[in-house]
Structure 1
Amino acid sequence: MSDKLVRRIHPALRDDIGDLITQRPLPNAHLDQVDPFLFLNHHGPQTYPPHNRGLPFGPHPHRGFETVTFILAGMLTHKDSAGHESIIRAGGVQWMTAGSGLIHAEISPREFLDKGGPLEILQLWVNLPPHLKMTAPAYTGLQKEDIPALVLDGGRVTMHLSAGEWDGTRGPVNSLTGVFMSAVEFKAGGRLRVPGLAGRNVFLYVVRGALQVGVADDRVGAFHLAELGSEGDEVGMRALEDAVVLLGHAEPIGAPMVAHGPFVMNSRAEIEQAIRDYQAGKFGASM
């Protein structure tokens, strides 16, 4: 048994979208991806006033990957061209498989537009391997109560398990590629040791608070992504203060990747085909 080491700690870079506060730790100047994890936007935290314009993510296409959206505060409406629609509230998760292609919108529901309130959202893009790029689109919307909350370390750690397995409990999302995905809340001093990481890449982003990670006790603070080495089969962490962490791990795909806006494929020719298919209306009717 050996621990993965922290290679580098990457700060999120500010990149607001209109009046939506946005910070992006991945990709960045030093790290293109944590295969298969491609992209993370951290929106907020911020408070919207009553009678606001809401989120700016109107109808847009995707192909070739999955989006996993964590609603930490506020609420989010999802609609897509495959007929899925839901309003997910704080503590919930949206898991969308774009696969062969669909059009979706992520907007604020009328209640939020009218009343305003706090908002904080994480959206993570997860790549699909070549043989699943053209899989059928799918969507799972989970409210907080749908997600197992595992109380660990004598109550100092709570793991909200969206996908994968922990000590006999399985998350409600059956990942096509065996992704483990969770949001973890720590009280100061809380400890977590994650086993079973041989041959898997770890995604570890600190939303708030601060952790010590790995055998060298590297400090990872809020709005930072810890890049872990490929060697080792487990990792330990300890909260230096109350903290919230996005924690995932998965087998790397290792295939060529070509990204163009909302499309992630394996070649330029596949990107050009995606654009043609979208323009031809093959992603379904726009909303």
Structure 2
Amino acid sequence: MRTVKQQHRAVSAPIADLVTYRALPTESVEHLDPFLFLNHHGPQTYKPNNRGLPFGPHPHRGFETVTFILEGDIMHEDTGGHQSIINAGGIQWMTAGRGLIHAEVSSPEFKRTGGPLEILQLWVNLPAKDKLTEPRYIGLQAPDIPTVSLDEGRVRIHAVSGEWAGQRGAVQPLADIQLATIDFQAGGQLTLPIPAAHTIFFYTIRGRLRVNGEETEALRLTEFNHDGDKLHIEALTDAVLLLGHAQPFLEPIVAYGPFVMNTAAEIQQAYQDYQAGKFGQWRG
């Protein structure tokens, strides 16, 4: 059984009127290679005729964004020509690669009617060999994501990427990144084998859990030692978990603003390329 190294509490980091908790990075943890960043937006309820999400056009290079829509919706557009509106239960997987500009805002319907909103965005690094890969975008609605039901229905794994309990995930990314959201009913239990060399990303979104004998709760990121190959999770209440694991890249990480590369020179080049229009031209 893996032992828990430390628990990290997400910090309040509101963006305009959007309730936001940043789970990674914080003062106690910089990154969990290859997982770089996690913002937890909401939960909150928007009134009718609201302004919606504030993420207008901005560039990225060198990593991937994985967005989990728990409640509400998100409207995506990018300079690669991709457009979508993803609703509750869906995900977005965007490989920024060599660079693009994208916007993530609320749909006109959500801004008109309002309602509950809760969204998580995770940044996952790309290995050096794939930093300048061609950008791509995958937008999936809830029915597009395979679900595995375990423990007499008290545990439901939504297999986003990789493989979970024999179920192939909806996305097969460039690097072997395993990601899932897991819904627990109180009392539900789950045991998973995870290679000891892998970094585990374990973020409790809602509720209270016990993992390998240690209790954790909503808005906490649990960091593990590399000393075992098994996770045992028990739900102390109804709960929702974001769980991932991957082989660490063990490469230099230089992050500045919206770019994540391996050297400072590559960051400087990213800004030059962006300013030269090499990320595409925003139509709006």
TM-score (normalizing by structure 1)? 0.97
Separation in 2, partners of 1:192, 1:83: 40
- Residue of structure 1 aligned with 2:250, choices 245, 248, 254: 254
**AA of the residue aligned to 1:72:** L
Separation in 1, partners of 2:108, 2:16: 20
Where does 1:265-276 land on structure 2 (aligned, <5 Å)?
265-276=261-272
SS of the residue 2:273 aligns to = helix
SS of the residue 1:150 aligns to = strand
Higher deviation after alignment, 54-63 or 227-236: 227-236
SS of the residue 2:202 aligns to = strand
- The CA deviation at 1:233 is 1.1
- The CA deviation at 1:169 is 1.5
- The CA deviation at 1:259 is 0.3
- Asked whether the 8 Å contact 2:39–2:120 carries over to 1, the reply is yes
Q: Does 1:218 pair with 2:217?
A: no
- The CA deviation at 1:286 is 1.6
Query: Which residue does 2:124 correspond to in 1?
Result: 126
Separation in 2, partners of 1:97, 1:127: 10
Count of residues in correspondence between the two structures: 283
Separation in 2, partners of 1:52, 1:229: 44
- The CA deviation at 1:138 is 0.4
- The CA deviation at 1:25 is 1.1
Where does 1:2-13 land on structure 2 (aligned, <5 Å)?
3-13=1-11
Separation in 2, partners of 1:197, 1:187: 26
Separation in 1, partners of 2:253, 2:164: 30
Query: Which residue does 1:185 correspond to in 2?
Result: 183
- The CA deviation at 1:199 is 1.2
Where does 1:236-255 land on structure 2 (aligned, <5 Å)?
236-255=232-251
- Asked whether the 8 Å contact 2:97–2:132 carries over to 1, the reply is yes
Separation in 2, partners of 1:201, 1:18: 33
- The CA deviation at 1:55 is 0.6
Separation in 2, partners of 1:114, 1:97: 30
> What CA RMSD, in Å, does the superposition of the two structures yield over aligned residues?
0.7
Which residues of structure 2 form unaligned runs of 5+?
Answer: none
Higher deviation after alignment, 195-204 or 176-185: 195-204
Higher deviation after alignment, 271-280 or 165-174: 165-174
- The CA deviation at 1:128 is 0.5
SS of the residue 1:99 aligns to = coil
Separation in 2, partners of 1:178, 1:88: 24
Separation in 2, partners of 1:157, 1:276: 48
Query: Which residue does 1:88 correspond to in 2?
Result: 86
Separation in 2, partners of 1:201, 1:208: 22
**1:249-273: per-residue Cα shift (whole Å, max 9, x none)?**
0010100000000000000000000
**1:219-243: per-residue Cα shift (whole Å, max 9, x none)?**
1100000011122111111010000
Separation in 2, partners of 1:131, 1:87: 31
**1:184-208: per-residue Cα shift (whole Å, max 9, x none)?**
0000011111103221110000001
Q: Which runs of 4 or more aligned residues in structure 1 lie more than 6 Å from their structure 2 counterparts after TM superposition?
A: none
- Asked whether the 8 Å contact 2:210–2:235 carries over to 1, the reply is yes
Separation in 1, partners of 2:194, 2:239: 23
Separation in 2, partners of 1:119, 1:132: 33
Separation in 1, partners of 2:123, 2:262: 15
**AA of the residue aligned to 1:22:** T
- The CA deviation at 1:168 is 2.6
Separation in 2, partners of 1:5, 1:102: 40
TM-score (normalizing by structure 2)? 0.98
Query: Which residue does 2:27 correspond to in 1?
Result: 29
Separation in 2, partners of 1:67, 1:199: 23
Which residues of structure 1 form unaligned runs of 5+?
Answer: none
Separation in 1, partners of 2:39, 2:164: 26
